[in-house]
Amino acid sequence: MVKIAVLGYGTVGSGVVRVLNTNHDNINTRAGQQIDIKYILDLRDFEGDPVQEKIVHDYDIILKDEEIKIVVEVMGGVEPAYTYVKSALEHGKSVCTSNKELVARHGAELLELAKKKQLNFLFEASVGGGIPIIRPLNNSLTADEITDIKGILNGTTNYILSKMSREGLDFDTALKDAQDRGYAERNPEADVEGFDACRKIAILSSLAYGMQVDFEDIQTEGITKITKEDIAYAKKLDAGIKLIGSSKKVDGDIYAFVAPMLLSNSHPLMGVNDVFNAIFVKGNVLGDVMFYGQGAGSLPTASAVVSDVVDAVKHMGTNIMSIWCTEKLELADIKQSENRYFVRVKGAGKEDSVKSAFGEVTFVVLDDKKDETAFLTDSIKECDFDSKIAAVGEVINCIRADF
Ligand code: HSE
């Protein structure tokens, strides 16, 4: 029997208890041993809840109990999670976490510590909730050089954009609906400004390229400036708008960003709607693969956490190797990356100045938007785009496009 402790009895922590209760026979068979929760650390008491007898308020009880072999950290945030996780590893306990802030900031260091101690630091649930993506990158796509990762990594913003597109709503109305349904937080900044997706693409890039990608280095744009008019234009181009976390290897340089993008309706990521996530990965010999599923929520996220617990049990005493090391990966200057751009500029009849700046472009017209000129450029370097657009006029909005 393996005894584990769960740090945090919130949405994910209670999911972990439910998953272990619901599927215990199957889980124990796959782990080869019985997995038993001995402690749950939380500030609250949960009177009347069957887990009440396992609740402790003092982390030292868990740390000092040599019977505890695995600590499940599902508290979120960098502190005190970092201190707890580091000391768990130092005390000879493997760690499974869903905490993307912790993994993005300290993943390389904690992986190194786990390796030194012949333990495991596992974080399948930190990206894409219940979607298996960390283990495939670490263990399955090992024959390939990963050249491109493109994902819908945030369920809240995908719900908002899907709602805006389906019902012609503006951003504020769709955000309020997402909040009413409990998808978006009362303070939705981390989701709608792209910070959550930024941490997730930093984790995926670090795993794919084997070095530390600092999330602070990733250019990040959210969806707050996307309007229903932008979406109406996209539809005219047989396209839609998605918040994309992207990292791409071009001639040995890695470019990474989070931004809204116009995607053609034929792109596989355009079939990913509402709170679902998907991650599209390109390998140099495999070609394209896509991982799709529920990117958030108590049970899907807990399913990924428990799968890590099973892996930790199966690899007790051995470290599952990861190539993610502490050496920093210097990202290439995003201004040197090439993209197509969908642009709206103030003023009608700007076609000639657009063509003299950008050459042949695709113009798009909305019947109720006569006072502006909208167009889709060919592929162009971001720095060249910046200098050329200044000559055309005042920009209303500008969105990268992947056609
Ligand atoms: N706020 C996140 C989302 C939760 O909406 O995707 C899962 O990380």
The model's confidence at residue 11, banded by pLDDT at 50, 70 and 90, is very high
Give the Cα separation of 42 and 73 in Å (integer).
11
Q: From ligand 1's centre to the CA of 290, what distance in Å?
A: 19
Tokens 């990608």 belong to residue: 213
Domains along the sequence of the chain with CATH: 2-130+298-314 (3.40.50.720), 136-294 (3.30.360.10), 334-402 (3.30.70.1150)
Res 286: pLDDT: 95
Q: What is the mean pLDDT of the chain?
A: 97
pLDDT at 253 over 90: yes
Q: From ligand 1's centre to the CA of 323, what distance in Å?
A: 26
pLDDT tens figures, 45-95? 999 999 999 999 999 999 999 999 999 999 999 999 999 999 999 999 999
pLDDT at 368 over 90: no
pLDDT at 309 over 90: yes
Tell me the average pLDDT across 311-324: 97
The model's confidence at residue 260, banded by pLDDT at 50, 70 and 90, is very high
Distant-in-sequence, close-in-space partners of 247: CB < 8 Å, separation ≥ 6: 148, 149, 201, 204, 205, 208, 209, 213, 254, 255, 256
Q: What is the pTM of this model?
A: 0.97
Please identify, by atom number, the ligand 1 atom nearest to the C-alpha of residue 185. 1
Please identify, by atom number, the ligand 1 atom nearest to the C-alpha of residue 183. 5
The model's confidence at residue 255, banded by pLDDT at 50, 70 and 90, is very high
Please identify, by atom number, the ligand 1 atom nearest to the C-alpha of residue 296. 7
Tell me the average pLDDT across 170-190: 95
Are 380 and 339 a contacting pair, CB within 8 Å?
yes
List residues near ligand 1 (CB under 6 A).
Answer: 129, 154-156, 191, 196, 295-296
pLDDT at 369 over 90: no
Residue nearest to atom 8 of ligand 1 (CA): 296
CA distances from 277 to 180, 243, 294, 301 (A): 20, 11, 6, 12
Q: From ligand 1's centre to the CA of 95, what distance in Å?
A: 21
Give the Cα separation of 296 and 293 in Å (integer).
9
Tell me the average pLDDT across 285-309: 96
Tell me the average pLDDT across 365-388: 95
CA distances from 252 to 139, 191, 248 (A): 23, 31, 10
Res 122: pLDDT: 98
Q: Token digits for 396? A: 């209303």
Degrees, nearest 5: CA angle 375-379-383 = 95
Give the Cα separation of 351 and 202 in Å (integer).
39
pLDDT tens figures, 111-143? 999 999 999 999 999 999 999 999 999 999 999
Res 181: pLDDT: 92
pLDDT at 403 over 90: no
The model's confidence at residue 370, banded by pLDDT at 50, 70 and 90, is confident
Catalytic residues: 200
Are 85 and 102 a contacting pair, CB within 8 Å?
yes
Q: How are the residues of the chain apportioned to helix, strand and coil, as percentages rounded to the nearest 5?
A: 40, 25, 35
Please identify, by atom number, the ligand 1 atom nearest to the C-alpha of residue 100. 8
Q: From ligand 1's centre to the CA of 154, what distance in Å?
A: 5
DSSP for residue 212: B
Res 334: pLDDT: 97
Strand locations in 67-152 (E): 68-73, 94-97, 121-122, 146-152
Res 198: pLDDT: 98
Res 263: pLDDT: 98
Pocket test for ligand 1, best of 75, 97, 101, 196 (most atoms within 8 A of CB): 196
Please identify, by atom number, the ligand 1 atom nearest to the C-alpha of residue 156. 5
The share of the chain scoring above pLDDT 90, in percent, equals: 98
The share of the chain scoring above pLDDT 70, in percent, equals: 100
Q: From ligand 1's centre to the CA of 387, what distance in Å?
A: 36
Res 246: pLDDT: 98
Q: From ligand 1's centre to the CA of 134, what distance in Å?
A: 16
Residue nearest to atom 2 of ligand 1 (CA): 154
